[in-house]
Structure 1
């Protein structure tokens, strides 16, 4: 028996309890995701869900320590240099990543120190 993974359903990122407004600014305003309706029975848990194209990101809330982590989503973009300029213009610090053949990439951190990677296949 084997399994075949055929796609990505969603990514969950956690932010501190009560700080959804800061997360909404980063994910909805800066990254330009669109908020989508959470199922009614999950709304009591806090957080929100959002989507861009076929990518769904669930922003959960929990008591967390603010420390950088390797956890991250990696988003494919159509123009990595334009994406880099956009973040620089919005005063988001860019972290250069170790080069990978055939890929141009960088990361940044959201306000809660979740690493967010952006990449373009070249």
Structure 2
């Protein structure tokens, strides 16, 4: 039986770990988590905040997905969007989901991320 989402895996191009660290740690405020040695040898990097884990694995012929994305629920969505904007990350608001305020952003390699806040 499925109990919860354990993690979300996104792809990234080889050598992008430094810009991913800057974005996921400094911009989003996530904490880098150590990769097991067998996975670390393949490249990539992982991050966590609370129970949410994102793993970014190296893909040689990387192309960011245009629609596929994780939705990372936030609180104080306006303040969080301002944080991203202040740090140079794109913020695109979308009002199409009833009961939510949300925006989209992209990490430095083009992976799409959604940040919704439930409004009731």
Using the size of structure 2 for normalisation, the TM-score is 0.90
Aligned partner (choices 32, 35, 38) of residue 32 of structure 2: 35
Q: How far off is 1:68 after superposition?
A: 5.2
User: C-alpha separation between the residues in 1 aligned to 2:88 and 2:37?
Assistant: 36
**Are 1:25 and 2:15 counterparts?**
no
Measured at CA, do residues 39 and 73 of structure 1 come closer, stay the same or move farther in structure 2, by a change above 3 Å? same
Equivalent residue pairs, number: 119
Q: Is the 8 A contact 2:95 2:101 kept in 1?
A: no
Measured at CA, do residues 56 and 65 of structure 1 come closer, stay the same or move farther in structure 2, by a change above 3 Å? closer
Q: How far off is 1:6 after superposition?
A: 2.2
Mean Cα deviation higher: 58-67 or 76-85: 58-67
Measured at CA, do residues 68 and 39 of structure 1 come closer, stay the same or move farther in structure 2, by a change above 3 Å? closer
Q: Is the 8 A contact 1:15 1:64 kept in 2?
A: no
**Are 1:120 and 2:117 counterparts?**
yes
Write out aligned runs for 1:1-122 (5 A).
Answer: 4-67=1-64, 69-122=66-119
Measured at CA, do residues 67 and 78 of structure 1 come closer, stay the same or move farther in structure 2, by a change above 3 Å? closer
Runs of 5+ consecutive residues of structure 1 not aligned to the other structure: none
User: C-alpha separation between the residues in 1 aligned to 2:38 and 2:83?
Assistant: 37
CA RMSD of aligned residues (A): 1.5
Q: Max radius of gyration: which structure?
A: 1
Runs of 5+ consecutive residues of structure 2 not aligned to the other structure: none
